[in-house]
Amino acid sequence: MASVIKLFDEREIAHRVEELATRIAGVIHGEFVVVGILKGSFVFVADLIRALDRAGCAPRVDFIRLSSYGQATESSGDVRLIGEVPSAVAGQVVLLADDVADTGLSLSRAKALLEAAGAAKVWTCAAVDKPSRRRVDFTPDFVCFTVGAQFVVGYGIDRAERYRHLSYIGVVD
């Protein structure tokens, strides 16, 4: 396996997730559901819901699974739903969480699916935002880190199903 250059270590990630949770708690009031986009968001969602608890929120949690990368490092542009849209979103405020906002295709597709399933309001957030790579007009409501076009890994984010286990966010050297 290639070496990985650290961009954001565990401490910085923890700090930013706490800040993000505080911002979210100041905007989203009352009950809401955090819906994570699998697989990449699972680590971020786990940290985020605990930070939201510390910020005074008690969100419910669900997941949606999408695929657009497969084994590639470029999105195919075809965002496929794997399984079903969570039924618990009907009439609910939703915070949709993803690992990386890259092309904007996955987050915008997931948001549309949740709205079609009857979500009252869908907010979006990402652990990492790459605005320079957008293919659609989409900006997440909440972001931990903004980076350039480099392909990041770690903290649940993979490259061909590798590197998810890393406790930090980095770039493969």
Q: Cα separation of 75 and 104, whole Å?
A: 10
Q: Is the pLDDT of residue 151 over 60?
A: yes
Cis peptide before 39 (omega within 30 of 0): yes
Tell me: the pLDDT tens digits for 127-147? 999 999 899 999 999 999 999
The residue among 76 and 149 whose pLDDT is bigger is 149
Q: Cα separation of 14 and 22, whole Å?
A: 12
Backbone dihedral angles phi then psi of residue 120, each to the nearest 5 degrees: -70, -40
- pLDDT tier for residue 76 given thresholds of 50, 70 and 90: low
Average pLDDT over residues 56-80: 75
Residue 68: what pLDDT?
Answer: 67
Based on the residue annotation, tell me whether 102 is a catalytic residue of this protein: yes
Of 62, 98, 99, 102, the active-site residue reads 102
Residue 102: what pLDDT?
Answer: 92
Quick check: 154 and 164 in contact, CB under 8 A?
A: yes
Class for the domain spanning 10-147: alpha beta
Q: Is the pLDDT of residue 48 over 60?
A: yes
